[in-house]
Amino acid sequence: MSEIPCRALIEQAYDENVKTRIGAIHRVNDVDISQRQQVLERLKKAVRTLRSINEICEDADDLYQTFTRERLSELIIDIRNGVNTAKRLAEATGFLDALDQYFDVMIDCLRAEHFPAGELDLLRSLGSTNPEKELEVLVFVLKARKPYRPILDRWENPPLTSIRVSEQLQRLQGELQDASTQVSFTPDQRHKPIRWFKSLGQIGTGAAMTIFDVMAAASLLPFPVDPASQSYGAMLSVVGGIGQILNGYGEWRNE
């Protein structure tokens, strides 16, 4: 899709769903703000740990000797809390309603340069050694897997092509809750493969990006946003964050 119809559709989606609701993120007390920041910091730490697993562990047996089951369960809980926060913010500000309507179409419009200033620093804080490349790969993968929702079809009846983005996130929340219990349940529980934890890290990365992008759209971060491109860039950056969550979700469930 060319730039002009992309901009028209996305600005319309922003005006219809987000413009009058973005202020909702400001209507929170200091406790809520503090808790949100704490969730994001724990999420960053969890993602850095999950990214490091590929470097320090050769296989699943090595992983379970390096980390206790309790620690692995804590990582999953931190990822779940990050997803919960990302979904709540996107829902309260109207972004999620827009994605439910136009998610696949918006992926067509997504470019790496649409992410807000500071996104590269966020990815570095999550352990990325090449954040520019990581954003380019994310955009490529989301476009290559479009139409996007069938990525999860083979596990579902009815297929997820009929399920909205918000409902997929809700399912993910429940499955993360179950997973945190399963990992720490019994010593003879089957070991999860390293790829399972790598995909979990992708989910966490997407959650952190979504929290960051919604806050940037609400002008809660200390860098300027061009008003002329705020609605367009904000919508597409949130698409990228949610897309990363769903990308990790699809791979995670396949392990």
The predicted-structure confidence for 35-45, as pLDDT tens digits, reads as follows 888 899 999 99
CA–CA separation, 200 and 253 (whole Å): 10
245 within 8 A of 169, measured Cβ to Cβ: yes
**Ramachandran quadrant class, 146 (left: phi over 0; alpha: psi -120 to 50; beta: rest):** beta
Residue 150 has pLDDT above 50, yes or no: no
pLDDT category, 165, cuts 50, 70, 90?
very high
Max Cα–Cα distance, the chain, nearest Å: 57
92 — phi, psi (to 5°)? -65, -30
Name the more confident of 39 and 254.
Answer: 39
Question: What pLDDT sits at residue 187?
Answer: 54
CA–CA separation, 53 and 42 (whole Å): 17
Residue 147: asked if its preceding bond is cis (omega within 30°), the reply is yes
CA–CA separation, 1 and 155 (whole Å): 31
Average per-residue pLDDT for the chain: 85
For range 73-81, the mean pLDDT: 95
pLDDT category, 54, cuts 50, 70, 90?
confident
Hey, what are 219's tokens?
């002008």
Q: Please, is 204 exposed, middle or buried when counting C-beta atoms within 10 Å of its C-beta (0-12, 13-18, 19+)?
A: buried
Hey, what are 40's tokens?
């994001």
Determine the Cα angle at 233 with ends 116 and 37, to 5°.
45
CA–CA separation, 225 and 230 (whole Å): 6
For range 140-149, the mean pLDDT: 76
pLDDT category, 151, cuts 50, 70, 90?
very low
CA–CA separation, 36 and 155 (whole Å): 33
Residue 159: asked if its preceding bond is cis (omega within 30°), the reply is no
Q: Which of 204, 212, 188, 230 is nearest to 84 (CA)?
A: 204
Q: Please, is 42 exposed, middle or buried when counting C-beta atoms within 10 Å of its C-beta (0-12, 13-18, 19+)?
A: middle
Question: pLDDT tens across 86-111, in order?
Answer: 999 999 999 999 999 999 889 999 99
For range 19-47, the mean pLDDT: 81
Share of the chain above pLDDT 70, in %: 83
Question: What pLDDT sits at residue 39?
Answer: 92
Hey, what are 151's tokens?
């990525």
pLDDT category, 156, cuts 50, 70, 90?
very low
For range 4-33, the mean pLDDT: 82
118 within 8 A of 225, measured Cβ to Cβ: no
> pTM of the entire structure?
0.89
Residue 154 has pLDDT above 80, yes or no: no
For range 195-224, the mean pLDDT: 89
Question: What pLDDT sits at residue 98?
Answer: 96
CA–CA separation, 150 and 163 (whole Å): 10
pLDDT category, 29, cuts 50, 70, 90?
low
Question: What pLDDT sits at residue 138?
Answer: 96
